[in-house]
Amino acid sequence: MILTNPFAELSVNVPSILMQLFVITMIALVIIGTVMDIIHKKNVKYFFQNAKKAKLQAKKEISAGEKTSIVVKTVAHEILTTSELGAGKRRVAHLLGMYGTIIFWISSVIMIFCYSSTNIVTPTYWPILWHIGALMTCLGGYWFWFFLRVDVVAEAYPWYRIIQADLFVLALIITSTLALIWSFLQFSNINVWDTLFLALFGISNLVLFGGVYWSKFAHMFYKPGAAIQKNLAEADGSRDNLPLPSDKPKQFGLGIKRESPKHY
């Protein structure tokens, strides 16, 4: 199963052009949803206003080279490794989900646009990456959902409590899960069930990419910019109008050591 390109097998019944149009539609939905989110929440407007304000409050001028270095370090350290989450389980789950999703999406696009035909031999590494990416997303997503969710553990809510903010992570997990089930059923030649799960896989993608306006999907585009702006503000001394850190740590006493932090 893991060596088989499911989209090539699907091309027997569904033309490759339809699969490609579906992918293009999903990309268009992301763009439309993100633009709607920007207009509604005014995030980009706030970002530029905040950057302009920080520039006026800057204590020193930083060169273009320093800015480039800060951007590169931020991307490499905070964005690509999510260092702001610390070294705990939440960071590992997040990295599994993030890189699993990236691998899953990229391999999907490549197999659909380049190898979605039984007449074209798909290099084995693309189906392997597709399945591994989906598995990584499921592992990180289910780990986060059942064991690491802050609101559940810290605020005593049941694991099945669902709010609008959960739309993105749930749609992501369900999409990857349905993809794996569909691939297995298709490989096993279970015709009726593989058609059903293919339809569910398509619907889950519509929810995931069509729900950008209502989910946290667009945050993936905002967070890198916010992280870069924060580090630039640290470098030029504006610090987003915040005071300097205290030169002495707070003294919490021994009570703080009774239970080590594990949820945040």
Tokens standing for 203? Answer: 């619907």
Distance CA 218, CA 212 (A): 6
Distance CA 229, CA 209 (A): 27
Is the Cβ–Cβ distance between 137 and 97 less than 8 Å?
yes
Cα dihedral sign, 213-219-221-226: positive
Under DSSP, is residue 31 helix (H, G, I), strand (E, B) or coil?
A: helix
Distance CA 190, CA 177 (A): 17
Looking at residue 111, its pLDDT comes to: 95
Looking at the whole model, is its pTM more than 0.75? yes
DSSP one-letter string for 194-213: HHHHHHHHHHHHHHHHHTTT
**How many Cβ atoms from other residues are within 10 Å of residue 158's Cβ?**
6
* pLDDT tens series, the chain, 264 aa: 788 899 998 988 899 999 999 999 999 999 999 888 888 877 777 777 777 776 777 777 778 888 888 888 888 888 888 877 777 788 899 899 999 999 999 999 999 999 988 888 899 999 999 999 999 999 999 998 888 777 776 677 777 788 888 899 999 999 999 999 999 999 888 888 989 999 999 999 999 999 988 888 877 777 777 788 788 777 777 766 666 665 555 555 555 556 665 554
Tokens standing for 169? Answer: 């992570």
Q: Where in the chain are the domains?
A: 6-59+86-235
Fold of 6-59+86-235: Fumarate Reductase Cytochrome B subunit (1.20.950)
Angle separating helix axes 191-210 and 16-41, nearest 10 degrees: 30
- Residues of 9-45 as b/e, b for ≥16 C-beta within 10 angstroms? bbbeeeebeebeeebeebeebbeebbeebbeeeebbe
Distance CA 197, CA 17 (A): 21
Is the Cβ–Cβ distance between 220 and 169 less than 8 Å?
no
Tokens standing for 83? Answer: 């260092």
Distance CA 78, CA 226 (A): 11
How distant, in Å, are the alpha carbons of 23, 171, 208 from that of 215? Answer: 19, 10, 8
